[in-house]
Structure 1
Amino acid sequence: MSSTEATRPGKAPAIRANPALQTYYESQESYLVYEVVLRGSHHFGFYDKDTYWPFPVGRSLERMEAKLLSALALPPGSQILDAGCGFGPVAISMARKGMRVNAIDIIDHHVTKARRNVEKAGFPKGQVTVEKMDYQHLESLADESHDGVYTLQAMGHATDAEAAAAGFFRVLRPGGRIAFFEAQRSRASGDFDEGDELAGHLKLVNEYTAMPTNELSREDYFKDLLEGAGFVDVEVRDYSENIRPQLRLFYSLVVVPWFFIRLLGLEKNFTNMICATSGYIGQPRWKFVGVSGTKPGPDIEGAKTK
């Protein structure tokens, strides 16, 4: 099934207003982090072992994308929904492995650049499509129209994670696969003392980066979310150790300027610096997990040609 066939005629995608999210991704600081440092990606890299030399960063990003593809465990030709595609690097990576990808995002400049990147990649027409769409509002997508769904550091932005998970379940065929690669708290935010400074910084991270689902998360949050939506055979892989070299890199880049920014009370203007410092110092308080599951039904058949 092509991505065109996966769309319901006459159904315009609904977009939930999220001005804080728009502000975060349109900031100059986010441009520096995501376009310059991470080469157009919005996710962590994967390292097989700890190292104080995390270069080249691009290789680590590719390894994380490979882990995501492995977690989906789908044959080439499968129709996959990339929910929160950013500039499209993961969708492009999936397509290069033979997948058909419907990539969606709600940030206008993400959609524009993702379309440009997909065009430059030179895939056959229809193999990768990019649409402005809210993954919490998939009404324009047909029931059982996809073989797989994934998010890579995008579900934290959900304002209604249960609605998103229910939508993913609906658009998957029986036997379809889902994978969330996301950060989650080790303990609920309310479990920390009111005067805990680090807990306060982690709360600011979620506020300034528009991540209400991350703020609500706790141990096994995404596992419970998938099982609550009806998915079975849910597996959780802890990749916290595998992202540490990149966390350390970000921390080393910002620790000195961060001292002066705090001194001047300018934290809100440097959201990603809060992320880098509190994320590294507060590692025992959160995890980076890969959570995958299956919609009940027979396995998705072997290589597809449609």
Structure 2
Amino acid sequence: MNQPSSAPVHTPHQPLSDYYEGEAERAAFLHEIFNTTAPDYDRVEAMLAFGTGPSYRHRALQRAGLCAGMQVLDVGFGTGLVAAQAIRLTGDASRVVGVDPSPGMMQASPLAATVQLLEGKAEALPVGDASQDFVSMGYALRHVSDVQAAFAEFFRVLRPGGRVCVLEITPAEGRMANAMLKFYMRSIVPFASRMRGVKTNTPKIWRYYWDSIEACAPPARILDTLRSVGFTEVKRHTELGIFSEYTATKPA
């Protein structure tokens, strides 16, 4: 039986059998693929987004209320693509902390020498209660094991009045648009990656990206899950029909 739309999301999507069978295998698969593709990630992402990624992330964080002087926790830091824009908006790299389960990704970041980086998971953040003004997560929601637990951690570490901004790619509305996006992410980007001499697993990670996007819980349930842990002012803003920005506030 399908869960009602108001049910909180735990597992973001069912196991993707082309890549792994269960939770233990999922964690091992993600650990390996992110660590082994880290050196290629930024250049393939730039190709995927046609170079517009930095400006979009900057605008999204602004829309979510990030401004100078805030203390920021960037969850799913990866190679620091979201954190780089957070630094621009806060004006101080020392006010941005990155958390990621992949040491390889963090070590591949050009920010590795300037930002405090902590190895950890969204479901068990290695920072204190009420220690952050802003929590960001860029395109990593599909990779957590328990979405509600991750959102509860976001709520815990935020100060009263703190803001959260979760960026995700969601399927396009309309069959034709979605088919084109699927073909681009699952076929064109992996093919172009191979032509550029990337690591063996790099084409595979972009195919996996689309498959996890397609299988992920729908936006309405993500919003309901934010509400379920106590967030208010829960909203979703979309750009180009596929870039979703989930924002919310911890009550003052």
Task: Bin the TM-score by the shorter chain.
Answer: 0.5 to 0.7
Is the 2:33–2:205 contact (alpha carbons within 8 Å) kept by the matching residues of 1? no
- Secondary structure of 1:65 counterpart: helix
Q: Which residue of the partner structure matches residue 111 of structure 1?
A: 106
* Distance of 1:22 and 1:211 partners within structure 2: 17
Instruction: For 1:21, give the aligned amino acid.
Output: L
Q: Which residue of the partner structure matches residue 218 of structure 2?
A: 218
Deviations 1:57-116 (A, max 9, x none): 1xx1121121222133133111111001111132122112225111011112112223x5
Return closer, same or farther for 1:210/1:186 CA change in 2, 3 Å cut-off.
Answer: closer
Q: Which residue of the partner structure matches residue 33 of structure 2?
A: 24
Question: What is the deviation of 1:185?
Answer: 4.9
Instruction: For 2:226, give the aligned amino acid.
Output: L
- 1:95 aligns to 2:81 (yes or no): no
* Distance of 2:27 and 2:153 partners within structure 1: 19
Q: Which residue of the partner structure matches residue 240 of structure 1?
A: 240
* Distance of 1:232 and 1:176 partners within structure 2: 11
Deviations 1:269-305 (A, max 9, x none): xxxxxxxxxxxxxxxxxx43111110011xxxxxxxx
Q: Percent identity?
A: 26
Question: What is the deviation of 1:206?
Answer: 10
TM-score, length-scaled by structure 2 = 0.67
* Distance of 2:152 and 2:139 partners within structure 1: 18
**Number of aligned residues:** 199
Instruction: For 2:103, give the aligned amino acid.
Output: D
Instruction: For 1:151, give the aligned amino acid.
Output: M
Match among 136, 146, 152 for residue 123 of structure 2 = 136
- Secondary structure of 2:111 counterpart: helix
- 1:147 aligns to 2:133 (yes or no): yes
Q: Which residue of the partner structure matches residue 157 of structure 2?
A: 171
- Secondary structure of 1:109 counterpart: helix
Return closer, same or farther for 1:168/1:83 CA change in 2, 3 Å cut-off.
Answer: same
* Distance of 1:173 and 1:63 partners within structure 2: 27
* Distance of 2:121 and 2:219 partners within structure 1: 26
* Distance of 2:106 and 2:55 partners within structure 1: 24
Q: Which residue of the partner structure matches residue 76 of structure 2?
A: 84
Is the 2:164–2:247 contact (alpha carbons within 8 Å) kept by the matching residues of 1? yes
Q: Which residue of the partner structure matches residue 5 of structure 2?
A: none
Return closer, same or farther for 1:93/1:186 CA change in 2, 3 Å cut-off.
Answer: closer
Gaps of 5+ in 1: 1-15, 46-53, 188-197, 242-286, 298-306
Instruction: Please list, as runs of the form range in 1=range in 2, the aligned pairs for 1:1-306 lying within 5 A after superposition.
Output: 18-27=27-36, 31-32=39-40, 34-38=41-45, 45=49, 54=50, 57=51, 60-97=52-89, 98-99=91-92, 100-114=95-109, 117-119=111-113, 128-138=115-125, 140-185=126-171, 208-209=208-209, 215-241=215-241, 287-297=242-252
TM-score, length-scaled by structure 1 = 0.56
Is the 1:206–1:214 contact (alpha carbons within 8 Å) kept by the matching residues of 2? no
Question: What is the deviation of 1:222?
Answer: 2.1
Instruction: For 1:222, give the aligned amino acid.
Output: I
> Which stretch shifts more, 105-114 or 90-99?
90-99
Is the 1:184–1:221 contact (alpha carbons within 8 Å) kept by the matching residues of 2? no
* Distance of 2:122 and 2:237 partners within structure 1: 23
Question: What is the deviation of 1:154?
Answer: 0.7
Question: What is the deviation of 1:38?
Answer: 3.0
Question: What is the deviation of 1:152?
Answer: 1.0
* Larger CA Rg, structure 1 vs 2: 1
Q: Which residue of the partner structure matches residue 303 of structure 1?
A: none
Instruction: For 2:121, give the aligned amino acid.
Output: D
* Distance of 1:168 and 1:236 partners within structure 2: 17
Return closer, same or farther for 1:77/1:221 CA change in 2, 3 Å cut-off.
Answer: same
Return closer, same or farther for 1:133/1:211 CA change in 2, 3 Å cut-off.
Answer: farther
Return closer, same or farther for 1:240/1:159 CA change in 2, 3 Å cut-off.
Answer: farther
- What's the Cα RMSD here? 3.3
